[in-house]
Amino acid sequence: MNFDLDAFRQYPLATIVWVAIGVTLLLSLLFRTYTGIVRYTSVADIGRISCLGAFCAVLYYYIDSSRILAPNRDVFPLSVIVINFFISTVIWLSYRLVVKWFFRFYWRKSNENKIRAAIYNTGHCGLMVRKGIAEDRNVDIRVVAFLENGWALAGKRLEGLPIYSACTASLQRLAKQERVKLLIIADEQIEPALLNELVDQCVALNIRVQKVLPVDKWINTGWNNNQLKDVNIEDLLERSVIEIQNKQISRELEGKSVLVTGAAGSIGSELVRQLVKQNPGAVIICDKAESPLYELELELSDIAPDLPVVPFIGNVCDRNRMQQLFEIYNPSIVYHAAAYKHVPMMEKNPSIAVLNNVMGTKVLAEIAVQFDVEKFVMVSTDKAVNPTNVMGASKRIAEIFTQSYNHYLHDRFQKMGNVGEVPPTRFITTRFGNVLGSNGSVIPRFKKQLEHGGPLTVTHPDITRYFMTIPEACQLVLEAGAMGHGGEIFVFDMGMPVKISDLAKKMIRMSGKEPGKDIQIIYSGLRPGEKLYEELLNTAENTMPTYHEKILIARVREYDFMEVEESIKQLINSAHKHYITPTVALMKKLVPEFISKNSAYEQLDKDKIKI
């Protein structure tokens, strides 16, 4: 009204004030605009306030057009309603924004001594991490930038923070201009190659790299520093994780009694954890280690409280004890993971390797056939291929026994008139490389050496190994049980082997140290029986494809079971007497490709050549 005071007096101002207050209060209660914490004003709050203003305008217009307050005149001119909508909405929002900016400015002053960080990921996860950190005053981190792969968003801003490209020049600017000391990886699907590159560049710039847990694991409890975890060396191995999704596994296991030997070990325990998800009828966990078996039983009571889990302390070499197990629980499927696996230890104790790895497998296999077990899945190793040590040879002999036993049973079953049918018990083998994080593996050993300030011990500058994760290894075992028809050896295409010296250097750099300067690497020489390069398949073997491009079936030489059984009896008799050299000589006779390396048993190979 052009600020004409006389024009204002023509309206019932007192009535208008009470109506405006009543309408605003009523709609505020309806839209709950008062519930939003002012300093945390969000898009949802802005939406509620805008709706409040719009509905107020609609009510004013309705009151005016219905002539409730003044039958003969307008109380709320349309121009006033429109002007009121914009002014009131701007004031409501401005109040919240001013408060929000004040707190942000106040916190920024108090954040000067906090660790300056950048977040890799401009998507939902990155924004949630940034919000969680910004809203927790107890966190000692201040996010100052975002990082994104590619150039599409580089140079733009997100929530007021600059976005940088994940390249060397951008990381250098982050370190110099933004003084970033921490890079938070908020992308769960980041490729190992890119993560490797980021870690290498950040280590060179003295920027620490950490990964954040998946958002759904902390969104309900709120943010704290425990959501950040250091990047593990396992995350940096440049190989894609092999995923297996086979519904046949559940169908094979559902409702059945399942036995896992060596259940307290790193492979056996993870195998049990995956088994309980398949709804078996019962799981018998067998091991001779009392404390780890007890701990596994407690863990299973938490994750599968309704599943019958039977802890059974026993040695697979004890035929009477294993007989008792099968008589009481009558398992339908057996996963045989019990074995001695450390190469240097078995090189010094060959008779024990034979008794545990060969005789234990023989005892368990024979009892499994006696009680009509459906499938017997044996866990083997890549060290069984062209073995150069006692441990690998013992596992190869166990493979030979189960395969030849499977063929013998199949032939006998066919001769009994069951043509086209499979025998009651089928033997299947899985063979894989070194398992990340398993007991005694190289990465935990390097971590312990780093904790003590080094040095890191590597046996040879050129030594390489294949690696896989424990869950992958156990998936292979389960898949073999579901896919196998009997007599197969399943192997993984494990990608490229990893050089152990490079692994050691990377772990040193990730700890903030410099190889050769802060932490030394010592080359101790190959241990007895140790290879420079592991093989997954014998050079004389062929492979057959399966439904999965990374899972193959090795076609190996077949052995006559009667000859194998007689040779293994002689081998076990020698091992029982703990004869060392004769035992190894019999192993070499059974496995002609067993050629010792860097071992006292090399003389046996020379004598064999002379003969």
DSSP state of 114: S
- Encode pLDDT of 234-244 as tens digits: 666 655 555 66
Helix (H, G, I), strand (E, B) or coil at 126: helix
Residue 332: per-residue pLDDT: 94
Q: What angle do CA 284, 338, 434 make, to 5 degrees?
A: 125
- Encode pLDDT of 485-526 as tens digits: 888 888 877 767 788 888 888 888 777 778 888 889 999 888
Place of tokens 């960080």: 117
- Interval 180-203 mean pLDDT: 79
- Per-residue burial over 196-210, b if 16 or more Cβ lie within 10 Å, else e, is bbbbbbbbebebbbb
Q: Has residue 186 got a pLDDT over 50?
A: yes
Q: Do 251 and 375 form a contact (C-beta atoms < 8 A)?
A: no
pLDDT band at 539 (very low <50, low <70, confident <90, very high): very low
Q: Do 497 and 464 form a contact (C-beta atoms < 8 A)?
A: yes
C-alpha distances in Å from residue 543, one per residue of 14, 121, 401, 492, 552: 93, 42, 20, 11, 6
Angle between helices 360-370 and 390-415 (to 10 degrees): 20
- Encode pLDDT of 353-383 as tens digits: 999 999 999 999 999 999 999 999 999 988 8
Catalytic residue among 211, 362, 383, 588: 383
* 183 vs 135: CA distance, rounded Å: 19
Neighbouring CB atoms inside 10 A of 348's CB total: 14
C-alpha distances in Å from residue 24, one per residue of 21, 55, 95: 5, 9, 17
Q: Has residue 46 got a pLDDT over 90?
A: no
Residue 32: per-residue pLDDT: 76
C-alpha distances in Å from residue 376, one per residue of 343, 350, 473: 25, 25, 17
DSSP state of 533: S
- Tell me the two tokens of residue 366: 């024979």
On the 0-12 / 13-18 / 19+ scale of CB atoms within 10 A, 589 is: middle
- Tell me the two tokens of residue 238: 């440049």
- 256 a catalytic residue: no
The fraction of the chain above a pLDDT of 90, given in percent, is 29
Q: Has residue 91 got a pLDDT over 80?
A: yes
Q: Do 379 and 476 form a contact (C-beta atoms < 8 A)?
A: no
